[in-house]
Amino acid sequence: MPVIGLRDIRIVAAMSRVVVRPAEVADEKFLWEMLFEASYSHEQGRVSPDELRGVPSLAHYVQGWGAPGDLGMIAVEGDSPRGAAWLRLFTGDNAAYGHVDDDTPELAIGVVPGMRGAGLGMVLMHNLLESARSRYPAVSLSVRQENPARRLYERLGFVEVPALSHTNPAGSTSVTMVLRFG
């Protein structure tokens, strides 16, 4: 008989209360909060998501959410959003950190601190990628080399693009990963 661990119990408990739905224009405020988490902005001394609006290299992940081509998923517990995964197409001189080519949107993801490690990230990714596969040839992302989230991306089929590694604003290395559909 399989052994059920504490993490499994947390996952079942969290999942039984959480619903995943598509992101709407009205979710922009929450996306700023999740961008704050995803970009580890507190490490650069920023104290609130609002400060990201003045950082062009980050703001363009969320600014004007709901543009054509934007696609996102929100994990909601009751009325409270708990996590978000979203993607957006960046082209030309608006390229973001994980830019691969002008046909490949870049994905960002964040889960509220108290809910991490309970499976929300995986469920958000599954839902978003299922929606994305009929619209885009691939999806890319940028992740710090040491971020445990890399394991999540690898399990979903993302592979590193070694030539696109770069030094991030915190001074460590970020890698670009891509998932090609089909």
Q: Could you list the residues that contact ligand COA (CB under 6 A)?
A: 37-38, 109-111, 116-122, 141, 143, 147-149, 151-152
What is the three-state SS of the chain? CCCCCHHHHHHHHHHHHEEEEECCHHHHHHHHHHHHHHCCHHHHCCCCHHHHHHCHHHHCCCCCCCCCCCEEEEEEECCEEEEEEEEECCCHHHCCCCCCCCCCCEEEEEECHHHCCCCHHHHHHHHHHHHHCCCCCEEEEEEECCCCHHHHHHHCCCEECHHHCEECCCCCEEEEEEEECC
**Shortest distance (Å) from residue 74 CB to ligand COA:** 13
Pick 38 or 128: Cβ nearer ligand COA: 38
Pick 8 or 24: Cβ nearer ligand COA: 8
**Shortest distance (Å) from residue 37 CB to ligand COA:** 5
Pick 152 or 180: Cβ nearer ligand COA: 152
**Shortest distance (Å) from residue 43 CB to ligand COA:** 11
**Shortest distance (Å) from residue 68 CB to ligand COA:** 24
